Amino acid sequence: MVYVFLADGFEEIEALTPVDLLRRAGVEVKTVSIYPDRKNVTGARAIEVKADITIDGVDTGMADIIVLPGGMPGTVNLLECRELMDMVDEQNGQKKRIAAICAAPARILGSKGLLKGKKATCYPGLENMMDGATPVIKTVVTDKNITTSRGLGTALDFACELITLLCGKEKSDEIRASVVG
């Protein structure tokens, strides 16, 4: 199970591209509103998305990957969600996969110290917020259980990396070719 967390102000392409491509690959994905009282979440470009579940419906024991999209103020809203941050800590403590794109690697994973000793990438200009990481200028970087990506323009590569991690390179290449990527 892959959980993609949504907070008001999330970057729509960074969240929905992985959902779309992972589902094409046959992976079970749930979009998650961080708001326990509502499924509707509004992205940074005022696109309203109805999440599959709210945060109180997440079973972290089933989480193969937790995905944290960027966007402003979406990234800050994710960071301020204590329940989600507890889930991220639990996922990391179990050495299970966490994926973050754009501002999320720096603002969330960096601020929590989860990138120490790891190679990582993020939105250009935020590298100094990736506390303890070795910044790498690549579209996607996976180091141990953490996958990071640079931003909206790298969402396809980010999604394909997640498919590779879960389903193998052959499936990832098949999905990339099917969307003319």
Q: Where in the chain are the domains? A: 2-172
Q: Is the pLDDT of residue 93 over 80?
A: yes
94 CB-near residues (< 8 Å, 6+ apart) = none
Q: Is the pLDDT of residue 169 over 90?
A: yes
Cα–Cα distance measured from residue 21 to residue 78, given in angstroms and rounded to the nearest whole number: 23
Cα–Cα distance measured from residue 101 to residue 42, given in angstroms and rounded to the nearest whole number: 18
Q: Is the pLDDT of residue 90 over 80?
A: yes
What's the pLDDT tens digit per position in 112-165? 999 999 999 999 999 999 999 999 999 999 999 999 999 999 999 999 999 999
Half-sphere exposure of 89 (CA within 13 A, CB side): 10
Instruction: Give residue 52's pLDDT.
Output: 98
Average pLDDT, the chain: 97
Q: Is the pLDDT of residue 181 over 90?
A: no
The CATH number fitting domain 2-172, selected from 3.60.70.12, 3.30.360.10, 3.40.50.880, 1.10.3210.10 = 3.40.50.880
Q: Is the pLDDT of residue 5 over 80?
A: yes
- Does the predicted model carry a pTM greater than 0.95? yes
Residue 167 a catalytic site member: no
Q: Which of the following is catalytic: 102, 122, 160, 167?
A: 102
